[in-house]
Amino acid sequence: MAETIHFSLVTPERSVFEVEVREVTIPAYKGEMQVLPLHTPYFAKLGIGILSFTDITGEVKKLAVTGGFVEVLPHKVTMLCRTAELPEEIDTERAMEALKRAKQRLEHPDDHTDIDRARAALMRAMTRLKLVGKM
């Protein structure tokens, strides 16, 4: 069997995945990164985006993740995410409403608008909708 990586994905609420994989593509804060077996040890802050991994059967799985940290070792990847959502967990209508609200806040800010928070909300909504094929 080819080399694999032990992949662990945890949020404050649950353990999402604990599986052997062929590769993991991570939305790091400074850009997307792909991890293969024997990767150089690395520690990074996570961004908002779509995480994907290929399991040992060759099936690709994708999730929407937001924030947290990832530790990469030659045979192990551990992700601690603020949130992680599988496509079937996404409420499309709610994501569309969040996208609309975030756009509204950014297009018409007032004195109380937190621009960074509105941008993050926009990115989260866009990521969810992209994951379910609505964007």
Cβ contacts of 129 within 8 Å, gap of 6 or more = 90, 92, 95, 96, 99, 135
Find out whether 76 and 51 touch, Cβ atoms under 8 Å: no
Residue 37, C-beta contacts closer than 8 angstroms, at least 6 positions apart: 2, 3, 4, 5, 22, 74, 75
pLDDT digits (tens, 9 = 90+) for 42-97: 999 999 999 999 999 999 999 999 999 999 999 999 999 999 999 999 999 999 99
Distance CA 72, CA 88 (A): 27
5-87 maps to which CATH number? Answer: 2.60.15.10
CATH 1.20.5 residue ranges for the chain: 90-131
Q: What is the pLDDT of residue 1?
A: 43
Q: What pTM did the predictor assign?
A: 0.87
As annotated, the residues of the chain forming the CATH 2.60.15.10 domain(s) are: 5-87
Classify 90-131 by CATH class. mainly alpha
Question: To the nearest 10°, the Cα dihedral for 43, 13, 16, 32?
Answer: -40
